Every structure is written in C-alpha cells, then in structure tokens.
Structure 1
Amino acid sequence: MGTMFGNSLHFLLFMLLFSPVAISELCNPHDKKVLLQIKKDLNNPYLLASWDPKTDCCEWYCLKCDPKTHRVYDLFLQTDTDLSGPIPPSVGDLPYLESLEFHKLPKLTGPMQPAIAKLTKLKYLLITSTGISGPIPDFLAQLKNLELLHLSFNNLSGTIPPSLSQLPNLLSLHLDRNSLTGPIPDSFGSFTKPGPDLILSHNQLSGPIPASLGQLDPDRIDFSRNKLEGDASFLFGRNKKTQILDLSRNLFSFDFSKVGFPKKSLIWLDLNHNKIHGSIPAGLTTVENLQQFNVSYNQLCGKIPQGGELGRFDKYSYLHNKCLCDPPLPNCKLIDAI
C-alpha cells in the first residue's frame, strides 16, 4: 500500500512539474490577460496566431519576457497588411514594457493611443510605416525614460510639440515622412547635450531654425525636404562631432564661406536646392572622411577648392550655382576669358 502511495505521489509531482499547465504559469497572469485582450482588440490577426491561451505567453511570437521575472518587456508587431484598427488601449496595461514597436502595419489607423502614457518604463517607442494620423501628442513628454522615439512614415499632422524637449534621456528623434507643419520648436535647444539625432525630413515644416540648436551636437541632423528658411550656419563648427548634416531642398540662406567643419567626424553634407551664397570654404579639403557632398542649386560663386576628399565628387555636386568654377566644373580662367 505504501509503495503504491509513493508511486502515485511521484507521478503527481512529475505531472505538476512538467505538465503544460505548470509551464504556462511562468507567464504572468496579468500580462497574459492583457495580451489576449490586445489580440481581441486587433480582431485576432494571423500575426498573433501563436497567442494561444492554453500555452505560455512567454513562448508567443512578437514579444519577449524577462528571464527572471517573466514579465513582458518587449512587444513588437511588424509587417502585416491585414492587421487593422486603432492601437488598442490595453497596450497601456503592460506595466513592465520597455520597448513597443508597430512597424509596416498600413491598416493600423487612428490617433496615437493615450494609454501609452501609462508605460513609464518605456525606453523605445517606434510607430513607423503605419496609417496612424492626427497630431503628435503632448503626453509623450511624460515618458521620461524614452531613449528612442521614432514616428516615421505615418500620416501625422499638426505642429511638433515643444514638450518633447523635456525627455531627458532621448538619443534619437525621428519624425520624418509625415505631414507636420509649423516651426521647429525653440525648446529643442534645451535638449540634454549633445542632443538627440534629429530626423525631421520630408514634412512641411517652415520658418527659421531656432538659433539655440547651435548649442547641440548630435551625430545626425536631417531637416531636408521642408520649407525651412534663414540662417543655418550655427549648425556647423570645427569642434562639432556631427557625422551627417542634410539641409537639402529648403529655403536656407547664409554665407557658406564663413562656416567651419569638423575634420574627423563629418561624412555627409548635403545642401542642394537652397539659397546659400558666398564661396566654398577651403576648410572642406581637410575633412578626412567625407563620403557625400552636394551644394548644387544654390547661389555659390568662386573657385572650387582643390584637394582632399573634395576630389571624389563630380560636377553634379556643384551644378546650377551662380558662378562656381574650376574642376570638376570649367576652369575659372576659361570663364574669365569668355
């Protein structure tokens, strides 16, 4: 009798330890309930077919659990042409979420979900290539741990909220390829130095750049394809560490001959289609790693400096200026003779 009882006890312990029910308990019950609600709110898309209530949610696709706490800290829904509807408000009920990504979901529509403001541990928020519309909300400034805020390739409109500069840990801000209007906020000069990468291209931004942005020194600035105007010379400097500076296809107007360049860091400088005047600074010949350079369609004049990395670029980097000359354009003496 005792042997039979002992065998039964061992069998029971085995079942408790290794049964699917026991394993599923690794998943936090609250998180699992929220995830199933998210699936329901999104009309049970095929992308979330692995989200089976009978299995451990930490084994589901499109998310990651912390190996110690088993709380969901990463949720990434990507590349599904059928997933439709607004961002579910239930995403705000995953309190340990550090990364939230919606990418290549063209039928994800509606405004930014206010419940996202509850995700106080969030470091990475990426909503890219979706049908999300409406303004960029002020509540994003409440997410003080944000390091990356990428809202590219959406249908966002309205002005950029000045409150974004209140994000003390922000390293990268991508708002490109939307329908944003108005100026770049003056408050952006108060970002924690060196400041986040600022990618604001392919919008309808207008007005001058705040001079306070000259105090920042991010790795990358891309303001291209907007309607920005005035002086942008304060973005340059010999002591800067900027790697990519793209101001092309705007209405900027300043004397190019008076700006300096970092010798080591600068690899990309594109100023085409503006109203920039003066001459090309000789200091550009000392920039060591320049891989892209374009000043075409401006009002520049004078001799093109010879030497250094500038020798890599053909005439298309210089065409349609007021009176630039010397290789790769026609020789200055030849033009004078004419």
Structure 2
Amino acid sequence: YNNFTGSIPIWVGEILSRLVVLILQSNTFIGHIPQKISQLKYLQILDLSNNNLSGPIPVSFGNLTAMQTLSESVFSWGGILGVGDTIPVTSKGKQGEYSEHLLPRLKIIDLSDNELTGGIPEELASLYGLQSLDVSHNLLQGEIPDKLGRLQQLESLDLSRNKLFGSIPSTFSNLTSLSDFNVSYNNLSGSIPSGNQFNTLTDPSIYIGNHLCGFPLTDNCTKGGGPNQGKPSDNGNEEDDDNEMVWMYIGSLSGFAVGFWTIWGVLIFKKKWRYAYFRYTDTTCDNIHVWVVVNFARMKSEIMSKSNH
C-alpha cells in the first residue's frame, strides 16, 4: 500500500537470500516478475497482487524450496516480531493478522489483480507445501494443468476472471484440503469434478461465467460431459441421422423393387423373351456341367496314370 513505481528490482532475489516474506501488494509496479525471486529458498509468503505486472508467471517458481516441503519455517519468528506483533497477510481472499505462532505454517502465493499473460506453469505442482494460490483477475490463457491436483495441502485456489479454457481437471478431486475454490468467468467447459471436497463446495457462483455442468449447478451433464443446454442440438443431430438411415433404406428397397420388376415383369409378359431367357439358362447350365465332368475325368485319368508309374 505505497506508491512504488517501476519494475520490481532483480536484486531482491539476488541479495536478500534469507527473505521469508515478500509482500509488495497494492503498488503500481510494472514489467515482468523477476525470475530471480525463485532463488529465495526460504520464501514462504509471496504477495505481488494488485499491481500492473505483465508477462508470464515464471516457470522457475516451481523451485521455491520452502514451498516444496511440508515442514515449518526454520526461522525463529520470535526474534523477528515483537511480543504480540502480527503481520497482515492475505489468504483465501481475505486479509488477516498472523502472529509468530501461525506464520511459520503459512505458504502462500498471491499474484492476483495484475496483467499476467501466458498459461499457468505446471511446474507449480512441485510446491507440495503450498496452501493458497491466487492468480485471479489476470489475462492467463490455456488449460488448467492436471498436475495441480498433486497439491494436497492446498486450501485455497482462485483462478477466476482469466481466459482459461478446457475442463476442470478430474485430479482436483484429490485436493482433500480444499475449502475455497473459484474458477468463475473463464471459458471452461465440461463437468465439474465430484467427490471429496467438491461435494462441500455448494456455491454455484464459483463456477459462473463458464460452460460447466454438474453439482452444484442446475445443468446436469450429458454422457459427453457437456451441459444440458447442448442436448437439444445433440438430439437434433440424432434425429437427422435417423432420418438419413430411413431414407437410405427406402431408397435401397425402391431400387430393389424397380430392378426386380423390370427383369421379371418383362419375362412374365414377353413370352418370346421368357423362352429365350430359359433357353440361355439351360444352355449355360449344360455347358458348366460338361466342363465339370470333362475336367474331373481328365484329373482322374492323370491321377491313375501317375499311380501306375
């Protein structure tokens, strides 16, 4: 909450090697997020929200060592904060005051309310200790990485108001600690995962602004995983297919009937043609019979001749 401008200095990640908390929210920083921040191996709380940052989320954030583990901070917060002192930290979309007893357990990344582009790096899935991830209100595109379903310590995940597409990964049903979830106002489609914590997320507004279906929305899912609103058009396609099959059968039967009566009708009413047809048939059958008898006799003769020799 200052009026800092310009880019976030690279030296923050190079020199402040023992930094545990970095909160630069609500300033007017511009430019890309420095990749060097990923070198801060003790960093547990990173809040760059509500700035004018652009560019992609650094893939190297997957290397934030302290967030990769489930253990608490190795630092003694009692030596950093005075007795009764707290630090304001935004978690689960709300700002709270955290004392030295709770801070060692927090592992948070908040990059919301910026102009970040690109996709969500799947490398973030290596941050196994991460409890809160907020990248809402950006310009992020692409699909949500399936691998984020590995973050079983994740309690809050906010991906709302971006340009994400595809489906919500089914692996998210493995996020058994998840209590706050929001993917509203993207371009997501398909069915909402079910089971575990997703059965407790009963607020439909966290899915609004997408093309999703399933609980807790009123749109049930079809067999293909799409919302019911697509069902009429699907039925229309099925009806078109059925109509095409019916007309195919009608055409086939009509052709057979025309061909049948063209041949047999002529034979029935034209005596001369009928006699000629049966004469031709008899001649053909006789020729075939003669050919079979002659060839059979020849083969028999050859076999007998070979056996005598």
Distance (Å, rounded) in 2 between the aligned partners of 1:204 and 1:215 = 24
For structure 2, the residue ranges without an aligned partner over 5 or more in a row are 68-106, 223-227, 233-309
The alpha-carbon deviation at position 222 of structure 1 amounts to: 0.1
1:209 maps to 2:57? yes
Q: Which amino acid aligns with 2:158?
A: D
Choose from 26, 41, 45 the match for 1:197.
Answer: 45
**Deviation digits for residues 84-133 of structure 1, max 9, x if unmatched?**
xxxxxxxxxxxxxxxxxxxxxxxxxxxxxxxxxxxxxxxxxxxxxxxxxx
Match in the other structure for 2:26: 177
The alpha-carbon deviation at position 189 of structure 1 amounts to: 2.1
Asked whether the equivalents of residues 157 and 181 of structure 1 are also in contact (C-alpha less than 8 Å), the reply is: yes
Higher relative contact order (CA closer than 8 Å, sequence separation 6+): 2
Query: Normalised by the size of structure 2, how large is the TM-score?
Result: 0.56
Match in the other structure for 2:225: none
SS at match of 2:178: coil
Match in the other structure for 2:216: 328
Match in the other structure for 2:206: 317
Q: Name the one with the larger helix percent.
A: 2
Query: Normalised by the size of structure 1, how large is the TM-score?
Result: 0.52
Q: Which moved more, 1:181-190 or 1:219-228?
A: 181-190
Asked whether the equivalents of residues 162 and 186 of structure 2 are also in contact (C-alpha less than 8 Å), the reply is: yes
Distance (Å, rounded) in 2 between the aligned partners of 1:220 and 1:284 = 19
**Deviation digits for residues 264-289 of structure 1, max 9, x if unmatched?**
41000000001112211112112122
Match in the other structure for 1:282: 170
Distance (Å, rounded) in 2 between the aligned partners of 1:238 and 1:196 = 14
Q: Which has the larger radius of gyration?
A: 2
Q: Which amino acid aligns with 1:190?
A: Q
The alpha-carbon deviation at position 235 of structure 1 amounts to: 4.9
- % identical equivalent positions: 38
1:222 maps to 2:71? no
Distance (Å, rounded) in 2 between the aligned partners of 1:182 and 1:197 = 21
Distance (Å, rounded) in 1 between the aligned partners of 2:151 and 2:28 = 35
Q: Which amino acid aligns with 1:171?
A: V
SS at match of 1:301: strand
* Aligned length in residues: 184
Distance (Å, rounded) in 1 between the aligned partners of 2:126 and 2:33 = 24
Aligned CA RMSD, in angstroms, stands at 1.7
Q: Which moved more, 1:206-215 or 1:253-262?
A: 253-262
The alpha-carbon deviation at position 327 of structure 1 amounts to: 1.5
Q: Which moved more, 1:228-237 or 1:207-216?
A: 228-237
Match in the other structure for 1:261: 149
Distance (Å, rounded) in 2 between the aligned partners of 1:178 and 1:261 = 32
